[in-house]
Amino acid sequence: MGLILDSASYAYGAGRPFEVPALVGVTLEVQRGSLTLVLGSTGSGKSTLLKVAAGLLQAQRGSVAIDGRPLTLDTARGSVGLVFQDPEAQLFADTLLDDVAFGPKNLGLTPEEAQTSARDALSEVGLDPVAYGARSPFSLSGGEARRAAIAGVLSMAPSYLLADEPTAGLDATGRAAVKRLLLAQRERAGVVVVSHAAEEFLGEADYLMILDAGEVGWAGPAAAAIQSPEIFSAHGLRAPEVLEVQRIAADAGHRFSRYTLDPDEAARMLVGGGV
C-alpha cells in the first residue's frame, strides 16, 4: 500500500540532444496518515516530482505505484489530488459550487453526487456552501480563492494529496488557515507538501525529503532532520530561523543535547549554554 516512487527518473526532451534530466533515481514512500515535506531550491526538480507522483508524467526509469498498482493517469484519477502552486489559476466556472464539482463530475459522479461532494469540500475549507456556493470564483479574496481551489481537489476525496507551495503569497491569517486545512487531511490521506522553505511545515511533518539538483539530497524522519540542522544549508536551503540560531551557537562552541524548533525551549537552552 501507499504511493511509492522507486528510483524514479525523468528527463525533459529525453533522447534528444538537449535532454534535461529533472529527476534522477528518486525513491519516496507516502503512506496514508502521514505528512511528508519535500524541500528543494528553485530548479531542484520539485515540480517534476509532483507531476510524476500525480501520474501526469511517466517516469522513464524506475517505477511508481499506488496501492500496489502501477501509477498511470487512470489509476491516479481521483486517488491522487494535486494542489498546484498558485492553485487559484485553476478556477474557471460561473459559480464556486460548479467549480468545486468539476473534479467529482470528471470522476463520473452524477451531478447530484458531485454537488454533495462539492458542498462537503467547501465546508471543509471553511467556505460556507450556502453563502459562497453561488458566488463567482473570481469575486473571492486571495486567501479565499486559495482555499476554494483546494476544495476543488478535496471534493474528489483523494487518498494522497500533493501540495506545491500551498501558502506562498498569503498573509498570516491565510497561511494559518491553509496549514490547518492540510494538517487535517492527514486524518484520511497521505499528504505531501512541497516547498522551498522549511519554516512552515517541518515541525508537523513526519518525513522530510530534500531534493538537490533532481536527486535525493537527504531523506528521513523529520525529527531526525531537526537534530541535524546542517543538512539544510548543505543543499542550498535555509533551516528554520530558530534552528539556524542553534546551529550558529553550536558552531560557536555551544553544546546542546538536542535541537528544538520551539522558541521557548531554544531560548532557555541558548541562555543556559545548553541543557
Partner 1 sequence: MIQFQEVSFSYPGSPAGVRALVDVDLVISSGQMLAVLGANGSGKSTLARLTNGLLVPDAGRVLVDGMDTSDDSLGLPIRERVGMVFQHPDDQIVAPAVEDDVAFGPENLGMPRAEIRLRVDSAIADVGLTGLERREPHLLSGGQKQRLAIAGALAMNPRYLVLDEPTSMIDSQGKREVTEVLARLRASGHAVLLVTHDVAEAVRADRVAVIDAGRIVFQGTPEELLHRRTEFGAWGLEMPPGGVLAERLRALGRPIPVRAMDAESIGSSLWA
Partner 2 sequence: MAVPVPFGQYVQLDSPMHRLDARVKIGVTAAFTIALFAVDTWLGLAVVGIMAAIGVTVSRVPVGLAARGIRPIAWLLAFTLVVNSLFPAQASETLVQLGPLAIDAAGLQRGLFFSVRILLLVFGTSLVTLTTSPVALTDGLAQMMRPLAVLRFPVDDAAMMMSIALRFMPTTAEEAERIVVAQSARGARFDTGGPVTRAKAWLPVLVPLFVRLFRRADDLAIAMESRCYRGQGRTRLRQPVMRSTDWIVLVVGLGSALTIALVL
- Name, in order, each residue with C-beta under 8 angstroms of 120's C-beta and a sequence gap of 6 or more: 155
CB of 248 to partner 1, least distance (A): 4
> Are 236 and 212 contacting, i.e. CB atoms less than 8 angstroms apart?
yes
What residues numbered 58-117 form the site for partner 2, per CB under 8 A?
73, 77-78, 80-82, 84-87, 89-93, 102-103, 106-107
- Does 235 sit near partner 2 (CB under 8 A)? no
Backbone angles phi, psi at 130, to 5 degrees: -70, -45
- Does 156 sit near partner 2 (CB under 8 A)? yes
> Are 182 and 175 contacting, i.e. CB atoms less than 8 angstroms apart?
no
Listed in order, strand segments (DSSP E) in the chain are 3-12, 20-30, 35-39, 61-66, 69-70, 80-83, 160-164, 190-195, 207-212, 215-221
257 binds, among partner 1, partner 2, none (CB under 5 to 8 A by kind): none
Q: Which residues pair with 80 in a beta bridge?
A: 160
174 binds, among partner 2, partner 1, none (CB under 5 to 8 A by kind): partner 1
**CA dist., res. 133 & res. 193, Å (int):** 27
- Does 81 sit near partner 1 (CB under 8 A)? no
Q: Taking Cα atoms as reference points, which of 229, 209, 226, 231 lies closest to residue 45?
A: 209
CB nearer partner 1, residue 267 or residue 275: 267
CB nearer partner 2, residue 57 or residue 225: 57
- Does 20 sit near partner 2 (CB under 8 A)? yes
Backbone angles phi, psi at 123, to 5 degrees: -60, -40
**CA dist., res. 36 & res. 190, Å (int):** 8
- Does 215 sit near partner 2 (CB under 8 A)? no
- Does 184 sit near partner 1 (CB under 8 A)? no
CB nearer partner 2, residue 78 or residue 236: 78
- Does 22 sit near partner 2 (CB under 8 A)? yes
- Does 138 sit near partner 2 (CB under 8 A)? yes
170: DSSP letter: -
What residues numbered 242-271 form the site for partner 2, per CB under 8 A?
none
- Name, in order, each residue with C-beta under 8 angstroms of 178's C-beta and a sequence gap of 6 or more: 143, 146, 147, 150, 166, 167, 170
Binding site for partner 2 (CB under 8 A): 12, 18, 20, 22, 42-45, 47-48, 51, 54, 56, 73, 77-78, 80-82, 84-87, 89-93, 102-103, 106-107, 138, 152-153, 156
Binding site for partner 1 (CB under 8 A): 41-42, 141-143, 168-176, 196-197, 199, 236-242, 244-245, 247-249, 252, 261, 263-264, 266-268, 270-271
